[in-house]
Structure 1
Amino acid sequence: MLPAGHPLFAGLLRSLPAGLIALAITRTPPHGRWWARAAVLGVLNIGLFFPFLFIAAERLPGGVAATLGAAQPLVVAALAVGVLKESPSAWRFAWGVIGLIGVGLVVLGPAAGFDGIGVLAGLGGAATMALGVTLTKKWGRPAEASPTTFAAWQLTAGGLFLVPVTFLFEGAPPAIDLPAALGYLWLGGVGGLLAYVLWFRAITTLPVTSVSMLGLLSPMVAAVLGVVVLGQTLNPVQLLGFALALIAIVASQRPAPALAKAALR
């Protein structure tokens, strides 16, 4: 539905309007050190992640892009040790690998193509989002900031970062017809503001590695929608991958069993 060749503009419209609307509603700007922190988190979680996401989506088959994004839990597991000083969790790392394999079995097909820039964008998106999620967990959320306010800060900061970058690399905005307008409205309202209000609430409530594994639900939902809406079918290999991914998501939300903990000790 969106104009081709404008991934930065897509990221800009997904973030800045939603962020400004949420700021106008909440009327709670950052204060003190949270000006800098909101800027850093906004650039990582929004300003860099959105362009990487749209570049990968344009240059790669959806299955390849989804599989690269599914590497994020493994990056988060490593960052949790270095940044959050958590003990290494072989339990969650193993389920992250199994989840990545499961997603790959579901969405990768024989026609999968690998564009170099698209692959780098997919990996860059996974890395920037993983670092943003980890820092969000490390810094927490200030008491006066609701999840909506927290999302507003980051969407606005990421959108403002994208304004000069977009016009520098893409020039004038593309022509927007009705389907494109509806697409941008969906991305900014549901895929932007609503999704990130829920996402940042989850990050500050759940263990960071557990939250990152929930991101694997995105390609799983896409596969289900392909069956229900588009009449697609899943072959036995895809069904196996679907089961592996779901098992990994559920298992990663639970603490390691006592025997596993004893073995690690």
Structure 2
Amino acid sequence: MTRTTDILLTAIAPAIWGSTYFVTTEFLPEGYPITLAVLRALPAGLLLLAVTRCLPPRAWIGRVLLLGGLNFAVFWTLLFVAAYHLPGGVAATVTSVQALMVIGMARGWLGTPVRAKAVAAAIAGIFGVGLLLLGPGAAFDPVGFAAALAAAAAMAAGTVLSRKWQPPVPALTFTAWQLSAGGLILLPLSLMVEPPLPALDLVNIGGLVWLGLVGAAMTYWIWFRGVARIEPGAISMLGMMSPVTAVCLGWIWLGQSLSALQLLGAAIVLGSVWLGQRASRPRPLPRPAVRTRQRLVP
């Protein structure tokens, strides 16, 4: 596949993640964020393990636990903490700094050069997300701000380390390992801090199936496949597609209105994503000089 095809395919994942807030609020019971995260990650991971029939070797268990913890357990838990203390738009705007964090971490851990256009694209994307999501009810809470910032750092570190540590297995297997690890880490936490989940109806089950099979198993397989193929700075910008999808779903399904500033913000986000892909594109190697044989004229 070409790089453009890989980018378009990978962009499907964050676009679908934009439905998470809508599905959670409209189809799932309130007050069980960690339990619902377990039900999203662990069944999806175990299902993929059953399909791939491949467990991580002993030498990889520590790395898998760390990656599953960063990408799922820590990220999802802190994201819910941020959502409880901040309006959704503020939390999403703060976590969008993940793109800048990835650029810095990729420089330190992968030796990826920092390019001015990539930094400019990330800053423009953060500004666009702010226009898209921030409203008059925006408020600052130090606990929520710290949680959102830490969530962004966890996801950024998980993305860069997933690129650095590429096991000799297909992306589907790598996804199964990480989802299972994240779910197992979250399981005891959910049992300790949350009450038992009430009986689920068909609507609740449908929401969990969507979040598990589509929002976790399929999308993270696509995402980790992209992480292995696309430059870290470019793939981190694709994450900004998520708030655009969330706003579009609110407009289509919930009848929410869109202001001129929100439309401008969406345009800036899409433009920054495009610029981020071009800025992070590998530069072609210079062609070797062709030596011509000189003729000796007597």
TM-score by length of 1: 0.89
1:40 corresponding residue in structure 2: 66
Q: Which amino acid aligns with 1:3?
A: P
User: Which of the residues 214, 221, 233 maps onto 1:209?
Assistant: 233
Q: Which amino acid aligns with 2:137?
A: A
Q: Is the 8 A contact 1:57 1:65 kept in 2?
A: yes
1:146 aligns with 2:197: no
User: Which of the residues 236, 245, 262 maps onto 2:269?
Assistant: 245
Question: Structure 1's 117 and 185: CA in aligned 2 closer, same or farther, altered over 3 A?
Answer: farther
SS at match of 1:252: helix
Q: Is the 8 A contact 1:46 1:158 kept in 2?
A: yes
Q: Which amino acid aligns with 1:19?
A: G
1:192 corresponding residue in structure 2: 216
By how many angstroms is 1:183 displaced?
2.1
Which is worse superposed, 65-74 or 14-23? 65-74
Q: Distance in 2 between matches of 1:93 and 1:255?
A: 9
Q: Which amino acid aligns with 2:51?
A: I
Q: Is the 8 A contact 1:7 1:55 kept in 2?
A: no
SS at match of 1:112: coil
By how many angstroms is 1:171 displaced?
4.4
Q: Is the 8 A contact 2:233 2:280 kept in 1?
A: no
Q: Distance in 1 between matches of 2:141 and 2:47?
A: 36
Equivalences, count = 255
By how many angstroms is 1:86 displaced?
2.0
Q: Is the 8 A contact 2:115 2:279 kept in 1?
A: no
Question: Structure 1's 78 and 49: CA in aligned 2 closer, same or farther, altered over 3 A?
Answer: same
User: Which of the residues 112, 116, 132 maps onto 1:106?
Assistant: 132
Q: Is the 8 A contact 2:42 2:179 kept in 1?
A: yes
Question: Structure 1's 64 and 245: CA in aligned 2 closer, same or farther, altered over 3 A?
Answer: same
Question: Structure 1's 191 and 83: CA in aligned 2 closer, same or farther, altered over 3 A?
Answer: same
By how many angstroms is 1:165 displaced?
1.5
Q: Distance in 2 between matches of 1:113 and 1:174?
A: 32
By how many angstroms is 1:106 displaced?
0.7
SS at match of 1:3: coil
Q: Distance in 1 between matches of 2:255 and 2:227?
A: 35
User: Which of the residues 97, 101, 111 maps onto 1:75?
Assistant: 101
User: Who wins on radius of gyration, i.e. which is larger?
Assistant: 2
**Equivalent residues in 2 for 1:158-173 (5 A)?**
158-173=182-197
1:84 aligns with 2:81: no
Q: Which runs of 5 or more residues in structure 1 are unaligned?
A: 258-265
Deviations 1:226-257 (A, max 9, x none): 22333333222112211111111001101379
Q: Distance in 1 between matches of 2:217 and 2:84?
A: 23
By how many angstroms is 1:205 displaced?
0.5
Q: Which amino acid aligns with 2:133?
A: V
Question: Structure 1's 54 and 189: CA in aligned 2 closer, same or farther, altered over 3 A?
Answer: farther
By how many angstroms is 1:158 displaced?
0.6
Which is worse superposed, 107-116 or 54-63? 54-63
Q: Distance in 2 between matches of 1:146 and 1:239?
A: 39
Q: Which amino acid aligns with 1:12?
A: V
By how many angstroms is 1:189 displaced?
1.3
TM-score by length of 2: 0.80
Deviations 1:118-157 (A, max 9, x none): 33322221110000001011112x23x2221111100000
Q: Distance in 2 between matches of 1:174 and 1:223?
A: 30
Q: Which runs of 5 or more residues in structure 2 are unaligned?
A: 1-26, 282-298
Cα root mean square deviation, aligned: 1.8
